[in-house]
Structure 1
Amino acid sequence: MNVLVVNAGSSSLKLRVLGEDDTVLAETQVERWSGGDETGPLEDFLAAAPAVDAVGHRVVHGGPEFTGATAIDDDVRTRIEALTGLAPLHQPRALAGVDAARQLLPGVPQVACFDTAFHSTMPAAATTYAVPAAWRRKWDLRRYGFHGLSHAYASRHAAELAGLPGARVVSCHLGSGASLAAVADGRSVDTTMGFTPLAGLVMATRSGDVDPGLLVWLQRAGLPLDDLEEGLEHHSGLAGLSEVGGDLRDVRKAAANGDEHAVLALRVYGLRLRQGIAAMTASLGGLDLLVFTGGVGEHDAELRADTAAGLAFLGVDLDAERNTGADSRISTDGSAVAVWVVEAREDVEIAAQTRALLNAPDRKP
């Protein structure tokens, strides 16, 4: 089964056709895609790509309802659209991708694969906010978690490579957005993001965890709500700390030149990351396997080394000579915790979920 994977980001569109053995048969990335009714990029791609048997779409938010891959029809599309308020940057783009694919490939099965679904296995203790019960019931307030497609693939693939079935894994998805997942025997039991993708680690331009009382104070001090949202989403994180931008490479260059703001940014970023990994380890009751993935996780050897050095108390011991490349072990042979770098392959996870749903023996035609 050839699967077209449609990954619509907040401003980009990634398209990839995977064959039955996950060989990449065709791919392209549109850096600036407006969404809406714009079908041109997908139409051009399909004209040159091999025929596809199914389409798998990445959808960021499944809310409390969608806890697994779901075949898309008009009703499902409407229910996904109803969740737009929970992911206003990403949900409309995903739906634009769905609409374009359904228009250009009528009759081809379309499947929604949700980033939140992987975390639906988290226990109530990990998902429940200590806020008034009336609020929780009225607005379905809970921790959902995100980057689930990446965490699912990275934790499973790393366990396979390491020969550690049933391992206690902390998966580190580090990119422009960043989150951790605690995975026990293939199931998510905790994660750092929450009701929205703003929570948890320091990110490129997102704040991560902030004292809610501080936000209330800012509102009372007169900061408009729109400015508060804009600041937390687009001007915080590494960008807000360093004042040179959210790209970790630029922050490192500035720090190397003595910029004190950049130096502080690196320290805050690294400390929050180590704290998060330790917290995920507590949720697991121990740690067998630590996995780095995502653009930063795969390519920043210095970050991996610094993180490992700060986690020596957990038994993490990195091998400096191995600390390069993807899909490789970078810990020493004697390390109590195996440390691996895994290439981010959300597309493989989406294709696998799409095939599993469509090949299910009890699926209705």
Structure 2
Amino acid sequence: MSVRNILVINCGSSSIKFALVNEKQSTFPLQGLAECLGSPEAVIQWQIGEAKETLSLPGADHAAALAKILPLAQEMAGGRLDGIGHRVVHGGEHFTGSSLIDASVLDAINTNAQLAPLHNPANLIGIEAAMSLFPGLPQVSVFDTAFHQSMPEYAYRYAVPEFLYTEHGVRRYGFHGTSHRFVSQRAAEMVGVPVDDSSWLVAHLGNGCSTCAVVNGESRDTSMGLTPLEGVVMGTRSGDVDPALHMYLARTLGWSIEQIDSMLTRDSGLKGLSGLSNDMRTLHEAYEAGHSGATLAFEVFCYRLAKSLASMACALPRVNGLIFTGGIGENSSAVRARTVEHLKVFNFQVDAQANARCTRGTAGQIQTEGSPRILVVPTNEERQIALETLALLDA
């Protein structure tokens, strides 16, 4: 059998992240980003090996950008693409795993758009454009929520009237599932334990952040809920707040639901606490310089993260280790160290030198001797999407 190539597409509202994944190569033959789509600044940037290219496409939409991206991917695949894997944020309860895309899958993604109005419509745009350009090519949807469909009912149900769940789908779904799956499997490989006999606490930390309890390769609980707003502090998202906050702001400030939602989603989190930035790199520099807002944001972020990880331990029979991943998790030794300081009840201890070495995509163990394992595991959602696409093609 010849080596297969999968193009992975992740469409945002005004962007497309893409990567060509060869099943036998550890690096991507092609990867890139189209951004500012729909505006005069629309541009595609891509990398082949060490060579970087840029193409300006003023006013281009998703379909126009994909019309440039897909032939480029086909060329880099030697004229043969074997399939396209699409990241889809919300699969609701329709999907417990990845799915070959047909009319019924498209309908279900559209139905779940009410649960992810910023994400699913953009995901659909990418799927429909790819299907029109390559109608004969197998296309697979890989859902952020699917990995968490193994959560028990007592973990995913809210304490609200039954009809809200049965008639309107109000429950906890969880996100970042592709990342949580990949890094928990990779961690088991790194320490030499079977995936199906392992238990992990996972912290996926980027602009969006979530924690997860993974038992024997399955999600048992996670911090995000009905939407990606629930849970830990994030770049611009608040994470958990008192549910009555909406009513309080409506009464005291006269804010609409839309204003409150925008504030909690776009102007809160690290950005709101610091009054400075949603970027942890900027905040840590300001923190070291004595900036009070950055210091507060850093401390709240780490404490709330530790608190969430501790709560996830309720879902584990034991702890094989703690995993940090995502842009912050993989690169901020300061966040890892401060978070672990709050988890002393678990006897976690960070080795400062090992912790300092794990940046810029470096995997490793950062615990002291005698401490439970603490791992830094770079995530690779594109490869996981490709693996799940290949598995469906094999099936």
Interval containing the TM-score (normalised by the shorter chain): over 0.9
2:258 corresponding residue in structure 1: 226
Match of 1:363 in 2: none
Deviation for aligned residue 1:207: 0.5
Distance 1:262 1:328 in 2: 28
Query: Against the structure 1 CA distance between its residues 198 and 67, is the aligned structure 2 distance closer, same or farther, given a 3 Å change threshold?
Result: same
Q: 1:120 pairs with 141, 149, 155, which one?
A: 149
Query: In structure 2, which of residues 12, 22, 28 is the aligned counterpart of residue 19 of structure 1?
Result: 22
Cα distance in 1, alignment partners of residues 205 and 331 from structure 2: 10
3-state secondary structure, aligned to 1:212: coil
Cα deviations by residue, 1:49-99 (Å, 9 ceiling, x for unpaired): 212101111000001111111111123112211211111111111111111
Q: Give distance in 2, aligned partners of 1:129 and 1:343.
A: 32
CA contact (8 A) 2:20 2:73 kept: no
State how 1:55-94 maps to structure 2 within 5 Å.
Answer: 55-94=84-123
Matched, 1:339 2:374: yes
Matched position secondary structure for 1:321: helix
Q: Quick one: structure 1 residues 47 and 183, their matched pair in 2 at CA, closer, same or farther if it must change by over 3 Å?
A: closer
* Count of paired positions: 359
Structure 1 gap ranges (5+): 361-365
Q: Which of 30, 33, 49 is matched with 2:76 structurally?
A: 49
Query: Which amino acid counterpart does residue 370 of structure 2 have in structure 1?
Result: G
Q: Which amino acid aligns with 2:8?
A: V
**RMSD of Structure 2 on Structure 1 (CA):** 1.5
Contact 2:246 2:257 in 1 (8 A): no
Q: Distance in 2 between matches of 1:318 and 1:251?
A: 22
| Counterpart-to-counterpart distance in 2, 1:159 and 1:311 | 22
Distance in 1, Cα, partners of 2:140 & 2:74: 21
Classify 1:47/1:159 alpha carbon distance in 2 versus 1 (closer, same or farther; 3 Å): closer
Name the CA shift for 1:270/1:119 in 2 (closer, same or farther; >3 Å): same
Instruction: State the alpha-carbon separation in 2 of the partners of residues 327 and 76 from structure 1.
Output: 36
Distance apart, 1:342 and its partner CA: 1.0
- 1:125 Cα deviation after fit: 0.7
Shift of residue 36 of structure 1?
Answer: 4.6
Query: Residues 6-34 of structure 1, C-alpha deviation per residue, up to 9 Å, x if partnerless?
Result: 11234321111111225322222223334
* TM-fit CA distance, 1:344: 1.4
Percent pairwise identity: 42
Q: Secondary structure at the match of 1:37?
A: helix
Q: Conserved in 2, the CA contact under 8 Å of 1:42 and 1:101? A: no
Take 2:210 and 2:379, find their aligned partners in 1: how far apart are those partners?
13
Asked whether the 8 Å contact 2:7–2:73 carries over to 1, the reply is no
What is the CA deviation profile of residues 111-134 of structure 1, one whole-angstrom value per residue up to 9, with x for unaligned ones? 000000000000001000001112
- Check the 8 A contact 2:211/2:308 in 1, yes or no: yes
Structure 2 residue corresponding to 1:158, chosen from 187, 204, 207? 187
SS of equivalent to 1:108: coil
* Cα distance, 1:169–1:216 mapped onto 2, change above 3 Å: same
Structure 1 CA distance for aligned equivalents of residues 142 and 113 of structure 2 = 16
Instruction: Determine if contact 1:143/1:193 at 8 Å carries over to the other structure.
Output: yes
Q: Is the 8 A contact 2:147 2:218 kept in 1?
A: yes
Deviation at 1:229, TM superposition (A): 1.3
The answer for the alignment partner of 1:356 in structure 2 is 391
- Pairing of 1:1-365 with structure 2 (within 5 A): 1-23=4-26, 24-34=28-38, 35-38=61-64, 39-43=66-70, 45-46=72-73, 48-50=75-77, 51-165=80-194, 166-221=197-252, 222-323=254-355, 324-325=357-358, 326-335=362-371, 337-360=372-395
The TM-score with structure 2 as length reference comes to 0.87
Point out 4+ residue stretches in structure 1 off by more than 4 angstroms: none
Q: Equivalents in 2 of 1:36, 1:212: separation in Å?
A: 37
Q: Is residue 22–residue 348 contact of structure 1 (8 Å, CA) maintained in 2?
A: no
Q: Return the TM-score normalized by structure 1.
A: 0.94
SS of residue paired to 1:139: coil
CA contact (8 A) 1:28 1:45 kept: no
